[in-house]
Amino acid sequence: MSSKPNPLQEFRDTRKIMNEKIMNLDHLGIKRFFNLDTNTYKDGALPGKTKELLGLVASAVLRCNDCIDYHLEQCAESGFSKEEIVDALNVALVVGGSIVIPHMRHAIATLELLEEEGTLSAPLR
Amino acid sequence: MSSKPNPLQEFRDTRKIMNEKIMNLDHLGIKRFFNLDTNTYKDGALPGKTKELLGLVASAVLRCNDCIDYHLEQCAESGFSKEEIVDALNVALVVGGSIVIPHMRHAIATLELLEEEGTLSAPLR
Amino acid sequence: MSSKPNPLQEFRDTRKIMNEKIMNLDHLGIKRFFNLDTNTYKDGALPGKTKELLGLVASAVLRCNDCIDYHLEQCAESGFSKEEIVDALNVALVVGGSIVIPHMRHAIATLELLEEEGTLSAPLR
Amino acid sequence: MSSKPNPLQEFRDTRKIMNEKIMNLDHLGIKRFFNLDTNTYKDGALPGKTKELLGLVASAVLRCNDCIDYHLEQCAESGFSKEEIVDALNVALVVGGSIVIPHMRHAIATLELLEEEGTLSAPLR
Amino acid sequence: MSSKPNPLQEFRDTRKIMNEKIMNLDHLGIKRFFNLDTNTYKDGALPGKTKELLGLVASAVLRCNDCIDYHLEQCAESGFSKEEIVDALNVALVVGGSIVIPHMRHAIATLELLEEEGTLSAPLR
Amino acid sequence: MSSKPNPLQEFRDTRKIMNEKIMNLDHLGIKRFFNLDTNTYKDGALPGKTKELLGLVASAVLRCNDCIDYHLEQCAESGFSKEEIVDALNVALVVGGSIVIPHMRHAIATLELLEEEGTLSAPLR
């Protein structure tokens, strides 16, 4: 694992600080939404692992890099291999079109960081 | 199965006729895109079945009823139960927000038609 | 009020039936989302009335006719005049561009139906 | 030209009636936006004809059937052939992805109606 | 007020310089659009203040950070309290879904800067 | 041409490196999509030059800065003048609304860099 700061770690740190500030706003609706969001990816009729992959593809076609990074990490931690994640991103590319390509580039850079860290278990050949 | 025409069957018929007309335009780029689209949902690093579910959620957050209908049918034929499909639609609802609700209503109506036809194997309790 | 069926009444009827079917799916996450959605428009730091107008403009720029119809009715019942609602739709038009125009046409047709019914209190000159 | 009503003619009629109602709202901002919109497609640094094609592709990737119909008619009247219009729609398909396909089907149906009417000058082979 | 540069001030400076460059392009349509945009938020059937809040929610559901920053500042200057602005952002969150969360984080960071500057009159508890 | 690094050159460099990494993923679907994307802008029923302008407007209304930069460069290299490119961006602004303005600012900054480099042949005035 690299000891120098990386964009993924910066995202994680900022995300943590800002989410705490959002909780501290003490708005009941927002707190309930965040709670609902967390529960969405727990095991249900579908395993939580599958739903993380659904969250990743939804984030990719809606073209949100922060959401992509978050779900990439969750997918890697859930045990999806790089090949499986890339195959999911291909669905997003075909559904969403070439406008998704810059987010594909972003996702591949994040996957590399997850590989370097060891979060992504199965390195691509 | 009902013998009277239903919106899902109308969609299937129109889709078939219009896709043939699109092929008859004989535009190489369009033909290749349609071919690429079909291949996307074949078994790869991920099973085709999983990718149909990814296609459904992508269609739901991008709010396209025709795409939702198409992937609902594919998901039902791939063997997903109604509970699993509904759990996937919940991911789309939380990622995409209340703007997805009208498409959730559409999806539930289509799921009913798929159940009546027997395409959806596992009826909801 | 006209006794013949109108598109707004059809929307209301379908919406009611389908929302009940969605509740009957008995998916906890979906039920909680619907509950959260309802609570969003209750009085808080902002009056519920103002939040209905925010919901209308959000629906218009995201280009969802069903959502527009729902919020138009809520805005009319909250006491906004036709002129005020039209002024809000103009914000949506400028933010969202000419792609919003077909939804503006839809909204004006719905406003007429709300006027005929007497739901919209202040007719346009 | 067919004498029976067709979806394109219905769209034209509704569009005309509703646009007049929008003008009658007498909202200065809305009136100015509509005026600005009309002027956008007049000859400038680019010919108006080219800008109609730009409007068509913008409408297709934003997935608005009414806007697609409007610009298809303008493109046909400007003298673009069916092959040229289809080639423009292919750009929209690749940029916007498979989610554009249902709108491609809609566009091809409208192109047929424009051909039957004689508005589209150059029939495809 | 902090004397060190902050992202909000950088945005303001860049926005000012670039808007001037856009005006200097001397394109009549663009100039008229910018003028129309400015006039949209002036008092009309609705007070300009309310329309700034509508602009904020439209910007949030369309997920444009620069637009969010601009309207946050206008809302703060119009006299909305932090609690009111947060309540409006909650409407955007529920309508637009979890994909809006990264923009919520951005908005809260900007609100803090507006509070430090004294532009936001009513600090949150 | 300036010798110091500029955002456009950084974009080009990152784009090149990341596209190579995407190719090295060796996913057949992704490789075919990239190939299809490249072929889309070759001469067909419409000249490739016209299609680059269509790609630019599609990118602008879908609000993707990287895509805008890519197509701006292609448009400049195809021989479009700054006035023509600005006239195309105005179509995007009117179709897509004020939410496009931040991307208009980005586009104008990129056009300046293309002018400085000499890629854009016809300077404004």
Portion of chain C with pLDDT greater than 90, in percent? 91
Q: Is C106 within 8 Å of C98 (Cβ atoms)?
A: no
pLDDT tens string D114-123: 999 999 975 4
Read off the pLDDT band of C81 (50, 70, 90).
very high
Dist. CA C41–CA C47, nearest whole Å: 8
Cβ of B98 under 8 Å from any chain C Cβ? Answer: yes
Segments forming the whole domain that contains residue F77: 7-17+27-117
Residue C120 per-residue DSSP state: S
pLDDT exceeds 70 at position A122: no
pLDDT exceeds 50 at position A123: no
Hey, are the CB atoms on F62 and D59 less than 8 Å from each other? no
Least confident of A1-10, A19-28, B48-57, C44-53: A1-10
pLDDT at F4: 63
Hey, are the CB atoms on E109 and A67 less than 8 Å from each other? no
pLDDT exceeds 90 at position C4: no
Cβ of A104 under 8 Å from any chain F Cβ? Answer: yes
pLDDT tens string A19-66: 999 999 999 999 999 999 999 999 999 999 999 999 999 999 999 999
pLDDT exceeds 60 at position F53: yes
Token couple for A14: 């900022």
Calculated CA dihedral for residues E15, E20, E25, E31, nearest 10 degrees:
90
Selecting from A29, A32, A40 the residue whose C-beta is nearest the C-beta of C29 gives A40
pLDDT at C94: 98
Q: Which residues of C touch D21 (CB under 8 A)?
A: 108-109, 112
pLDDT at C121: 74
Taking CA atoms, what residue in C is nearest to E82?
A: C45
Task: Please state, as a whole number, how many other Cβ atoms lie within 10 Å of the Cβ of residue D55.
Answer: 27
Portion of chain F with pLDDT greater than 90, in percent? 91
In a domain, F68, yes or no: yes
Dist. CA E83–CA F27, nearest whole Å: 49
pLDDT at C40: 98
- Helix pair A7-24, A28-40: axis angle to 10 deg: 140
Cβ of E99 under 8 Å from any chain B Cβ? Answer: yes
In a domain, F1, yes or no: no
Minimal CA separation from C58 to chain A, in Å:
17
pLDDT at E31: 98
pLDDT exceeds 60 at position F117: yes
Cβ of A37 under 8 Å from any chain B Cβ? Answer: yes
Q: Is B69 within 8 Å of B11 (Cβ atoms)?
A: yes
In a domain, D43, yes or no: yes
pLDDT tens string F75-116: 999 999 999 999 999 999 999 999 999 999 999 999 999 999
Predicted TM-score (pTM) of this structure: 0.95
Read off the pLDDT band of E3 (50, 70, 90).
low
Hey, are the CB atoms on A27 and E108 less than 8 Å from each other? no
With vertex at residue E33, the alpha carbon angle to CA D107 and CA E56, rounded to the nearest 5 degrees, is 90
pLDDT at C124: 46
pLDDT exceeds 70 at position E42: yes
Query: Average pLDDT over chain F, rounded to whole?
Result: 94
Read off the pLDDT band of F121 (50, 70, 90).
confident
- In the complex, which subunits touch B with 3 or more CB pairs below 8 angstroms? A, C, D, E, F
Taking CA atoms, what residue in D is nearest to F59?
A: D95
Calculated CA dihedral for residues C71, C76, C78, C82, nearest 10 degrees:
110
Q: Which residues of E touch F90 (CB under 8 A)?
A: 27, 29-30, 33
Query: In sequence order, what DSSP letters do the residues of A2-29 get, joined into one string?
Result: --S--HHHHHHHHHHHHHHHHHHT--HH
Dist. CA D78–CA D76, nearest whole Å: 5
CATH of the domain at B100: 1.20.1290.10
Q: Mean pLDDT across the stretch B5-29?
A: 95
Dist. CA F85–CA F65, nearest whole Å: 15
Q: CA separation (Å) from B41 to A55, B62, B77, E62?
A: 18, 18, 13, 30
Query: In sequence order, what DSSP letters do the residues of D58-125 get, joined into one string?
Result: HHHHTT-HHHHHHHHHHHHHHT--HHHHHHHHHHHHHHH-GGGHHHHHHHHHHHHHHHHHT-S-S---
Minimal CA separation from E116 to chain D, in Å:
35
Q: Mean pLDDT across the stretch C96-106?
A: 98
In a domain, E13, yes or no: yes
Hey, are the CB atoms on C87 and E55 less than 8 Å from each other? no
Cβ of E40 under 8 Å from any chain C Cβ? Answer: yes
pLDDT at D122: 53
Residue B42 per-residue DSSP state: S
Hey, are the CB atoms on C101 and D67 less than 8 Å from each other? yes
Cβ of A23 under 8 Å from any chain E Cβ? Answer: no
pLDDT at E125: 43
Largest CA distance in chain C: 47
Minimal CA separation from D90 to chain B, in Å:
6
pLDDT exceeds 60 at position D85: yes
pLDDT exceeds 50 at position A124: no
In a domain, C2, yes or no: no
pLDDT exceeds 50 at position A125: no
Minimal CA separation from D39 to chain B, in Å:
31
Dist. CA D71–CA D93, nearest whole Å: 16
How many domains does one find in chain D? 1
Helices (H), chain F: 7-24, 28-40, 48-61, 65-78, 82-96, 101-117
Task: Please give the backbone phi and psi of residue E25, each rounded to the nearest 5 degrees, phi first.
Answer: -65, -25
Cβ of E42 under 8 Å from any chain D Cβ? Answer: no
Cβ of E94 under 8 Å from any chain A Cβ? Answer: yes
In a domain, F101, yes or no: yes
pLDDT exceeds 80 at position E15: yes
pLDDT exceeds 50 at position B68: yes
pLDDT at D121: 74
pLDDT at A100: 98
pLDDT at D13: 96
Read off the pLDDT band of A121 (50, 70, 90).
confident
Dist. CA C51–CA A121, nearest whole Å: 46
Taking CA atoms, what residue in B is nearest to A61?
A: B58
Interface contacts (D, E; CB < 8 Å): 16
Residue D45 per-residue DSSP state: S
In a domain, B69, yes or no: yes
Read off the pLDDT band of A1 (50, 70, 90).
very low
Q: Mean pLDDT across the stretch C9-16?
A: 96
Cβ of F122 under 8 Å from any chain A Cβ? Answer: no
Hey, are the CB atoms on A37 and E104 less than 8 Å from each other? no
3-state secondary structure chain E: CCCCCCHHHHHHHHHHHHHHHHHHCCCHHHHHHHHHHHHHCCCCCCCHHHHHHHHHHHHHHCCCHHHHHHHHHHHHHHCCCHHHHHHHHHHHHHHHCHHHHHHHHHHHHHHHHHHHHCCCCCCCC
pLDDT tens string D23-81: 999 999 999 999 999 999 999 999 999 999 999 999 999 999 999 999 999 999 999 99
Cβ of B23 under 8 Å from any chain D Cβ? Answer: no
pLDDT exceeds 50 at position E7: yes
- In the complex, which subunits touch D with 3 or more CB pairs below 8 angstroms? A, B, C, E, F
In a domain, B47, yes or no: yes
Cβ of B32 under 8 Å from any chain F Cβ? Answer: yes
Hey, are the CB atoms on F62 and D61 less than 8 Å from each other? yes
Selecting from C37, C46, C91 the residue whose C-beta is nearest the C-beta of E58 gives C91
Cβ of D75 under 8 Å from any chain A Cβ? Answer: no
